[in-house]
Each structure stands twice: as structure tokens, then as C-alpha cells.
Amino acid sequence: MISEQSRRNIMSDKYTVLVVDDAKENLAVMSQLLKDEYRVVVAKSGEQALSLLANQKIDIVLLDVVMPGMDGYQVIAHIKSQDSLKDLPVIFLTGKDSVEDEEKGFELGACDYINKPISPPIVKARVRTHIQNKRTRDFLQDQNIFLEKEIINRTEEMSRLQDATITAMASLAETRDQETGNHIRRTQLYVKLLADKLQTHEKYKDRLNIKLIDIFYKSAPLHDIGKVGIPDNILLKPGKLEVDEFEVMKKHTDFGFKAIEDAESEMGADDTFLKVAKEIAHYHHEKWDGSGYPDGLKGEEIPLSARLMAIADVYDALISKRVYKDAMSHEQAMKIISEGRGSHFDPDMIDAFFEIEHEFYDVAQKYTDG
């Protein structure tokens, strides 16, 4: 058990008591009473007290109510109006003993009342109690700050791990398709560029936000993850696919959806990221007029994320070299995409796409296939 002297040494090192009273004799009495346990500073007026509070670290205030100039009620009102001081414990010292006076003080934020003439044991006990309360509160606040920082650090760490896992999974699928990691990067950026632009449009401003756009961006690399289930003789065929081969190829959307759905089931939670990833993997080959696959969805039936991905994927496929075709120019790709407005693609998205097509071109030039 800690000794009284040790406790006093600890307390005096840490806590400062401000005594505010217009009577010099009262200041002298309170200083003498508390000096062994605390660092004591005194103020003879409310104005002087506020000046000390602005320039020193004070841990508790003993405040006289009746003073010339600013009275105790005005002083505490000023203290509690400041964010940096609002939690500071204030004990009123008063000769007033009416219920109304005490009620007013507590309403203004006082933590306690000590009646004059003071009783030294009561003063010491009350100050010690509220100092201990402050000590506990400060500890809890420090712990909260620490935990908040830990949560942020862990969240950032989990986000980096998630990003690395997504990239690894997507790279596996792209490597089988003889595509490069730059395809992943480009399509991610295309999706974000287009979503950012759409967010400025009246139709989409309430449907898109920074968090959702970031989820679109992070989910985009998984759009073709289902290709890991497609046989090499079909996936890598240099010529046009036969009808039956194309039917097999189309199954990559189902494979991708199922893989992500299985991951979602393992988590046992409804996760927005996985929901969006499923949408993108499953529906990015759907077409606005209902002629796409796998489900022949039409118009707004197609998830927003998949409509964005469709434009990003087609643009990148057109400007990139594949085993079955040469790369097209940006201008050729723009012409083909324009022809798909309202049939293959969401017309509003195509309009937004053409407003920022130079940004798509810049991304394509920056992340070229080596």
C-alpha cells in the first residue's frame, strides 16, 4: 500500500490547484492548507483567474462565488465555454447556502460546493476526490486516444493486406490470360475516374460517395478472377472462339461470382466490398439492351458497379494487344464505344466517359504493357 508521503510526492508532481478569492486571508489559508499535496496558484479576481488558466496547466479550480467584477458564476461560464477547459473540475467556495444558489452552480458545470467558513478536512477530502476523478478520467481519455490510434493502424494494416490479397488473386487470373498487372491497374483507375465524374452529375450525386467509389476501385481487379476456371485451350486460343467454346468462356462470370460468394460465406458477414466484388465479377459482361450475359439483365437492372466496369474493361481490351488481336488506337476505341451507347453501355455513363476520355488516354499511356 502506498504511503501518505509517497502519495503526496506523486500528487504534488502532477496536479496544480488554482484558488480564486478576492479576500487575501482566504487565499493564504487555502494555500497553507493545500501546499503539502499540490502546487497551489492563487488569483484575486475572476479576470486574473482566466489569465492564469490561459497560460498555465491547471488541474482543479477552487472558486469563490461572490467577488467584485466577474463573479464565480461568470468565471465558470467562461471556463465551460472553452473546449480546452470544459472538463476542468471547478469547486465553488461560498457563504451562500440556498438550494437555488447551489442548483445554479451545478447547472453551470460546478462539480462540488464547499461552504464557508471552510473545514480543512472537508476541503482536503473534496479536492482529493475530484483530483482522483480527474486522474481516472485523464487515464481513460489517454486510453481512448491510444485505442483509436490502434484501430486506425489496424484498419490501415488490414486494408493493405486486403489490397495485397486482391492484387495477388487478380494477378493469378490475369497471368493465365497472358495479360499484365498493368491491366489491373488501368481498369482500377478507369473505374475510379468514371465514378468520380458521375458523382458530379445530378442523377448520381446521391448514389455515389467517396467510400463507395473506393470500394469500386478496390473491387475492380477481381472482375475476371473466374478465368482461373477456364481451360487453357479456350482461354489462350489465338483465333475466334467457336460457339460452344464461347459458352464455356462465359462461365468465368459464374466462377468468379461463386468464388467471392464462398469467401463471403466463410466470413459469415454481409460485407459491402464483397457484395460489390460479386456484382463486378458476375455482371460486367451484361449489356444495357439486355443482350449480355450471364443473366441478360437490362438497363438499371445491371448493378452500377458492373456498368462502370463494363466500360473500363472494354476500353482497355480495345487498346491492348491480345493473343487473338492487335491493339487499337485510342481514337478507334472511342468510336467503337460511342457506337455502343444505349445498346452495350449505359448512355449516361458514356456521356460522362467522353467528358474525361483524355484522362483514360493518360492512364493508358502511363501504365502501358511492357
Task: Decide if 91 is inside a domain.
Answer: yes
Nearest one of 38, 31, 235 to 120, comparing CA atoms: 31
| Helix (H) / strand (E) containing 64 | strand 60-64
Indicate if 134 and 200 belong to the same structural domain.
Answer: no
Using the predicted structure, report yes or no on whether residue 40 has a pLDDT greater than 90.
yes
Indicate if 102 and 193 belong to the same structural domain.
Answer: no
| Helix (H) / strand (E) containing 20 | strand 16-20
Indicate if 141 and 182 belong to the same structural domain.
Answer: no
Indicate if 207 and 124 belong to the same structural domain.
Answer: no
User: Which grid cell is 300?
Assistant: 438499371
Number of domains in the chain: 2
Confidence band, pLDDT 50/70/90 cuts, at residue 237: confident
Indicate if 332 and 268 belong to the same structural domain.
Answer: yes
Using the predicted structure, report yes or no on whether residue 101 has a pLDDT greater than 50.
yes
Q: pLDDT tens, 281-304?
A: 999 999 999 999 999 999 999 999
Task: Decide if 169 is inside a domain.
Answer: no
pTM of the shown model: 0.60
- Of 145, 165, 195, the last residue of a domain is 145
Indicate if 138 and 187 belong to the same structural domain.
Answer: no
Task: Decide if 244 is inside a domain.
Answer: yes
Give the pLDDT confidence score for residue 9 in this predicted structure: 47
Nearest one of 368, 370, 364, 369 to 193, comparing CA atoms: 364
Say which CATH number the domain at 93 has. 3.40.50.2300
Task: Decide if 332 is inside a domain.
Answer: yes
How far CA 112 is from CA of 33, 88, 102, 162, in Å, comes to: 18, 12, 9, 52
Indicate if 48 and 182 belong to the same structural domain.
Answer: no
- Of 95, 123, 145, the last residue of a domain is 145
Indicate if 138 and 221 belong to the same structural domain.
Answer: no
Give the pLDDT confidence score for residue 90 in this predicted structure: 95
Across 69-85, average pLDDT: 93
Beta strands 90-94 and 60-64, pairing class = parallel
CA distance 16 to 207: 53
CB contact set of 163 (below 8 Å; sequence gap of 6+): 218
Min mean pLDDT across 146-150, 167-171, 182-186 is at 167-171
Confidence band, pLDDT 50/70/90 cuts, at residue 138: confident
Indicate if 134 and 193 belong to the same structural domain.
Answer: no
Indicate if 126 and 184 belong to the same structural domain.
Answer: no
Residue 322 belongs to domain spanning: 177-366
Indicate if 186 and 312 belong to the same structural domain.
Answer: yes
Say which CATH number the domain at 321 has. 1.10.3210.10
Using the predicted structure, report yes or no on whether residue 19 has a pLDDT greater than 80.
yes
Indicate if 212 and 336 belong to the same structural domain.
Answer: yes
Give the pLDDT confidence score for residue 198 in this predicted structure: 96
